[in-house]
Amino acid sequence: MENSSTKRMAQSTLALIVFALVGKVFGFARESLMAYYFGAGIEVDAFVAAQKSTALLSGIVSATIATILIPMLTKVELAEGAERKSYHTNNMLTLAVLAGAIMAGLGMLFAPVLTKLIGGGFGKEQFDLTVELTRVGMPVIIFSAIVGVLTGFLQSEGKFAATGAIAIPLNVVYISYMVILSDTFGIRGLTIASVLGILAQVIFLLPETIKCKFKYFFVFDIKDKFVINALILSIPVLFSVAINDINVIVNTRFASGLAEGTVAVLSYANKLNTLILGIFVSAITAVIFPVLSREFSSGRMDRGKAAMNGSVKFIVLITIPSMIGLMVLSQPIVEVAFLRGEFNHAAAELTSSALRFYSLALCAMSLNNLLNRVYYSLQDTKTPFIIGILYVALNIGLNFILVRFMGHNGLAFALSIAINISVITSFVLLHRKIGRIGIKGYIRTLIKSLIAAGIMGLVANFTYFNLEALLGNSTAIKLACLLVTVAISVFVYGLICYVLGVKEVRMLVEFTKKKFNKN
């Protein structure tokens, strides 16, 4: 039974990774087209700042709802049976849409205040454009609320494919707009496209929701004890979920006082850095969260810890080599991704340097996402809230110090230092809360991964830059050199991990051997 459950988890994770990869390819195309059509100037700075406002609010609503809904529906199923899930989900849907509409209205009303917080260093023209784009984008919050409810319901049912693929319709709308209509409607039309993209996600999720026998009917029950409990838990979750967005906004606020285009440069670098998080880490946390909720709610602490430990090691083994790879290959990655059209060599250099410092946060950001879900599964929303406050406070304090000496790189470095300190603190508090969690095992895996990734980084540096010197530096050749370098680097990393006795890598090799022998 346990093997069957593990197999289903592995299959779900693999499916999510595949869909996330496809979604990221579309996302990569979207960012490349945006750099091509709009570059890194005043309009893009205004668009990025406006998106930070709307994305902060919509992301908070969507992610918070999905996060609190999974433990809530687990409790409903244990207490009242699976057939009652539709009732409570519909009630949550009504309340979520209502809350989203109120937030959208307030967002439109207070758009100048939000813009002042995010882009206080903007000139009048840029400030006014940001306010306008913020107001146009606010309806996205309502659709994001619906996405959050549908996502939480589907994941509680063990259906991950559709939720993992929702980036695809969003990016299709973006890309279609930029290719067909961007010359006509410009940056304002791109903001409208961002709203329509979230609506496309709602439409995309509906068929899978219907397959799960979900039937919509209007419910407005403010006495629903499950929803009331979930909403109480949501108060600290709101802040915890928004931490990364809040810190990006803090950095945007500081960046708005630097040279023109700095906001866009940091945005491009941050998106490249979180590519791995969006593909692999989001997959494992999405699959493991319902498992953690079920195991901890049922009192099976050892099984919950085992699931968590495997996830921590998986994240370390994925993100450490990714971090080293981004540091070594930041320049060609940025050039292949963005160096065309309005995006020039100066912008590429600024973006690649920021990417190197942002990459130091990759492992910690990924672990933070997982640890927050562990706490939520334990019905503890207070600890992630405290950790979140620490994270923001450290980031702001370090920004004031480092931006003076390092410019925009200091903002990226400050965020990386802050999240690493916060995650270490989170591990210590979790150990105190539930007892032994295998920290020594984590450290062993981390050390082995760092050794393997360090050797891999040397190989990657030698391979890429020698290939480029030999073959040329056109975009197509750079892309080919990157692909070859990544393939060789993955092999080298896996080989060194195997030699060092990393259990998870050896298990993967044995599993692959068995598959080939069967065939």
Residue 494 falls inside a structural domain? no
Residue 405 falls inside a structural domain? yes
Rounded Cα gap, residues 277 and 315, in angstroms: 9
Sign of CA dihedral 51, 352, 337, 488: negative
- pLDDT category at 1 given cuts 50, 70, 90 is very low
Residue 440 falls inside a structural domain? no
Q: Give residue 7's pLDDT.
A: 55
Rounded Cα gap, residues 22 and 25, in angstroms: 5
Q: Give residue 105's pLDDT.
A: 92
Q: pLDDT exceeding 70 applies to what percent of the chain? A: 92
Q: Is the per-residue pLDDT at 88 higher than 50?
A: yes
What spatial distance separates the first Cα and last Cα of the chain, rounded to whole Å? Answer: 25
Say what the pTM is.
0.73
Rounded Cα gap, residues 412 and 410, in angstroms: 5
- pLDDT category at 2 given cuts 50, 70, 90 is very low
> 358 is written with which tokens?
């942002």
- pLDDT category at 518 given cuts 50, 70, 90 is low
Q: Give residue 23's pLDDT.
A: 75
- pLDDT category at 242 given cuts 50, 70, 90 is low
Residue 81 falls inside a structural domain? yes
- pLDDT category at 286 given cuts 50, 70, 90 is confident
Residue 490 falls inside a structural domain? no
- Average model confidence (pLDDT) for the chain? 84
- pLDDT category at 452 given cuts 50, 70, 90 is very high
- pLDDT category at 430 given cuts 50, 70, 90 is very high
Residue 499 falls inside a structural domain? no
> 372 is written with which tokens?
């927050």
The CA-atom distances, in angstroms, between 277 and each of 177, 202, 212, 318 are 26, 23, 28, 9
Q: How many CB atoms lie within 10 A of CB 74?
A: 21
Q: Give residue 519's pLDDT.
A: 57
The CA-atom distances, in angstroms, between 1 and each of 5, 7, 289, 301, 317 are 6, 10, 19, 18, 27
Whether 130 contacts 256, CB under 8 Å: no
Please give the residue that has the higher pLDDT: either 390 or 57. Answer: 390
What does the pLDDT average to over 134-153?
90
- pLDDT category at 425 given cuts 50, 70, 90 is very high
Q: Is the per-residue pLDDT at 241 higher than 70?
A: no
Q: How many CB atoms lie within 10 A of CB 248?
A: 23
- pLDDT category at 424 given cuts 50, 70, 90 is very high
Report helix, strand or coil for 475.
helix
Q: Is the per-residue pLDDT at 431 higher than 70?
A: yes
Please give the residue that has the higher pLDDT: either 210 or 58. Answer: 210
What does the pLDDT average to over 77-101?
82
Q: Give residue 89's pLDDT.
A: 84
The CA-atom distances, in angstroms, between 275 and each of 218, 326, 406, 415 are 38, 11, 25, 17
Residue 152 falls inside a structural domain? yes
What does the pLDDT average to over 228-238?
74
**3-class SS letters over 37-99:** HHCCCHHHHHHHHHHHHHHHHHHHHHHHHHHHHHHHHHHHHHHHCHHHHHHHHHHHHHHHHHH
What does the pLDDT average to over 143-155?
88
What does the pLDDT average to over 243-257?
75
Q: Is the per-residue pLDDT at 322 higher than 60?
A: yes
Q: How many CB atoms lie within 10 A of CB 237?
A: 25
Residue 480 falls inside a structural domain? no
Q: Give residue 482's pLDDT.
A: 92
Name the residue range of residue 349's domain: 2-431
What does the pLDDT average to over 487-513?
85
Task: Please report which residue ranges of 329-381 form alpha helices under DSSP H.
Answer: 330-338, 345-358, 362-377
Report helix, strand or coil for 138.
coil
What does the pLDDT average to over 59-79?
76
Q: Is the per-residue pLDDT at 459 higher than 90?
A: yes
When divided into structural domains, the chain yields a total of 1
| 42-46, 154-158, 373-377 — most confident range | 373-377
